[in-house]
Chain A
Amino acid sequence: MFVEEHPAKRLLTEGGIPVPRGELAGSPDKAAQIAERLQAPVAIKAQVPAGRRGKAGGVRFADRPAEAREATAQILGARLGGFVVEHVLVEERVSIARELYAAVTNDAARACPLLLFASEGGMDIEEIHAKFPDRIVMVPLDVRRGLEAPQAHTLLQRTLLPPPAQEAIGDLLVKLYRLYRKLDAELLEINPLALTAAGGLVALDCKLVIDDSAVRRQTQIPVARLQGTSLEMRARAEGLLYVELEGNVAILANGAGLTMSTMDAVTFYGGRPANFMEIGGDAYKKGEVALSIVLGKPGVKSLLVNLCGAFARTDVMAQGIVRGWQQLKPQIPVAFSIHGTGEEEAIRLVREQLGIEPYEEMDDAVRAAIDMARPA
């Protein structure tokens, strides 16, 4: 879950990491008032749960309240990373002596936290890595031991930054790591981290992504706005995972791996999948709503139902789909492929209740669904 900049910075502050003074504004007038109150040049930053806002025009600068009002009017309502901008963060501009980079993230290959620090900042870590490979500190950490100040200070020695700065940065990295752990973060990144002329450190931007599996125990974090088409939003509200695609062959399958493979097979045999829709797990009871969602996409010409039961039973999944089909009575051709646990009962249901004979081979069902989607 992506956490927007403003709540992320509030969490940084609570963790002892300084951020610029600033407030949220939902209107140009409010932005002007905040700029007035701050008595300083400000940055106006679009608040959406997505990265790369600067490159997309979501960050402006203003010296006076009137300019803040104007910049905010331009940003509000714009679409950034798939989200409409409803608020901007109006923040005091900090005088920067040097831009740095600091982050802690999950290292999937090593299965441990990874500490990243660079004595250059303000660009993507990939770009820093390409341009200044020798200015990056990249250290896998033992999640059971964490990061303590002496280790952080030792790691920073090779950056050749002035010792007082190293001292301050080391302390900040310890706080950053503790926050990463406390928040169940996948990524907690400060970029740029400003070293001010006075020698202080200020987090100018913050990117925070929380592990979706841990959101339930991270109750202090505001739930992010979600992005998606109206069908995707409806599916999510029903507890179904649906991803809308460009094509015209609608897909119902069970399990992430089988559903992706079904999309791939449609593409491989020359068709175009209309969606990803997984009805495994508990979702098997939602056959009817799943059907109405995949068939609700305009331009869908055929339906491919591909079930393979392992621990999920195909007879139970088929029951839901058959019931949904009988209630919705869709006027669209459908091809079934049913294998694995419960297949005999599932095939019998489809044959007897819908008068449709499932294909013996998945690939034949895929090819049939593609043929049926072609214009007559």
Chain B
Amino acid sequence: MPADNAVRVLVQGITGREGSFWTERMKQYGTPIVAGVTPGKGGRAVHGVPVYDSVEAAWNGHAPDTSVLFVPPPAVKQAALDAIGCGLRRLVMLAEHVPVHDVMEVLAEARERGVEVIGPNCPGIVVPGRYSVGIMPAWARNMFQPGTVGVVSRSGSLGALVCLDMVRAGFGESAFIGIGGDPIVGTTFRDALQQFEADPGTQAVVMLGEVGGTMEEDAAAFIPEMSKPVVAFIAGTSAPEGKRMGHAGAIVAGTRGSARSKIDALRAEGAHVADVPSQVSVLLSRLLGE
């Protein structure tokens, strides 16, 4: 579980506009950012964070365990492989439009070395009150409060909406994990359910899926093994077949990837499935009695 680690964060692509902007935000929130990397720009500092030319140089001085990648899509593969090669334990790949073959190469290497990869095309992780790695507005107190509900979402915008609703209903998050909207991502719903099940600080899990692929169906099979309730919402019930709905992974092909198939699989395994996002908090209140 993310919350269990004392994180030491590396920012790859720290000198870019986005990298620099979010480094300041993450630091202000209290995230321990120990170093940054931009090839050719070593020696300077960004918001007080020392910048190095390579992951290896940053690793030698600071031993980071988590890297967040603010690098453009064509550079993601090499940046990720550098981080894995140096021994980082967890990567957050934010970029959209990373070629899928590159993602497969990164994931193959990560799997072999037991490295966790979140994303690509994801908003990152927030552990309220502790740290934020990515581009969610962790500082928004109406969205993120320390609590006991684990939230995992393919979408940042839908995740934000449900978190706002939850906080208003009196809940807080043990962690928010944005796993990303691409057809192939590292951490899956099933992985997140396993992490939340193992996390003593989590009492219930909210899972926000969407049309496309079979990740939700695969996760459903794990629910009977869980001691904690799962509340789910699947976006795209009204999505037409054969059209990509914004995310590269959000496409229904025949009956494959349809919202119906996911909702049926989740209900069959005991998940509580909301019809609209606002029902998620209602279901949580019923389950956790708050």
Taking Cβ atoms with an 8 Å cutoff, the residues of A that contact B are: 106, 108-109, 111-113, 142-144, 181, 184, 186, 211-214, 217, 241, 243, 245, 253-261, 263-269, 273, 276, 278, 280, 308-312, 339-341, 361-363
Contacts and interface: CB of A to CB of B under 8 A. Distances in A.
Contacts of B91: none
Given A111-B107, A211-B101, A264 B161 contact: no
Contacts of A212: 97, 248
Given A106-B104, A211-B101, A263-B239, 6 more contacts: A109-B215, A111-B186, A184-B99, A253-B157, A308-B160, A311-B123
Contacts of A259: 157, 245-246
Contact of B101 (A181, A243, A258): A181
Contacts of B235: 257, 260-261, 264
Given A106-B184, A108-B184, A363-B278, A257 B101 contact: no
Given A256-B155, A256-B250, A310-B160, A111 B277 contact: no
A213 B182 CA distance: 10
Contacts of A278: 246
A255 B101 contact: no
B198 interface: no
A211 B100 contact: yes
Contacts, number: 180
A109 B100 CA distance: 13
B159 A310 contact: yes
Given A112-B104, A214-B100, A361 B278 contact: yes
Given A112-B108, A310-B157, A339-B161, A267 B100 contact: no
A258 B107 CA distance: 28
B247 A257 contact: yes
**Which of B181, B186, B247 counts the most chain A CB atoms within 10 A?**
B247
B21 to A, nearest CB: 10
Contact of A310 (B109, B137, B210, B213): B137
Contacts of B215: 108-109
Contacts of B246: 241, 255-257, 259-260, 276, 278
B218 A261 contact: no
B6 interface: no
B154 A257 contact: yes
A311 B181 contact: no
Interface string B220-251: 00000000000001011111100111111110
B89 to A, nearest CB: 19
- Max count, chain A CB within 10 A of own CB: residue among B140, B160, B239, B275: B160
Interface of B: 73-74, 96-101, 103-105, 107-109, 111, 123, 135-137, 140, 143, 153-161, 164, 181-184, 186, 208, 210-211, 213-215, 218, 233, 235-240, 243-250, 259, 275-278
B128 to A, nearest CB: 14
Contacts of A142: 108
B214 A109 contact: yes
Contact of A264 (B107, B140, B236, B248): B236
A255 B156 contact: yes
A269 to B, nearest CB: 8
A255 B250 CA distance: 12
Contacts of B250: 256, 260
Interface of B is mostly: loop
B100 A184 contact: yes
Nearest to A112: B104
B99 A310 contact: no
Given A217-B99, A243-B240, A263-B239, A256 B104 contact: no
Given A243-B243, A260-B250, A341-B137, A308 B238 contact: no
Contacts of A254: 157
A266 B235 CA distance: 12
A257 B250 CA distance: 9
Contacts of A257: 153-159, 181, 208, 210, 235, 246-247
Nearest to B217: A109
- 5 A-B pairs with least C-beta separation: A257-B155, A255-B157, A256-B246, A257-B158, A258-B157
Contacts of A266: 238
Nearest to A181: B101
Interface centre among A112, A257, A308 (most CB of B within 10 A): A257
A319 B91 CA distance: 35
Contacts of A265: 276-277
Contacts of A339: 160-161, 164
Contacts of A361: 278
B109 A268 contact: no
A341 B140 CA distance: 8
A217 B161 CA distance: 36
17 contacts: A106-B183, A111-B111, A142-B108, A144-B105, A214-B100, A253-B157, A256-B155, A257-B246, A258-B158, A264-B259, A268-B276, A310-B136, A310-B157, A311-B156, A339-B161, A340-B143, A340-B161
Given A257-B159, A260-B246, A308-B164, A108 B213 contact: yes
Nearest to A264: B237
Contacts of A263: 236, 238-239
A273 B238 contact: yes
A280 B244 CA distance: 16
B99 A211 contact: yes
A111 B104 CA distance: 6
A373 to B, nearest CB: 15
A214 B99 contact: yes
Given A243-B240, A264-B235, A308 B275 contact: no
Nearest to B95: A213
Given A106-B104, A111-B107, A213 B97 contact: yes
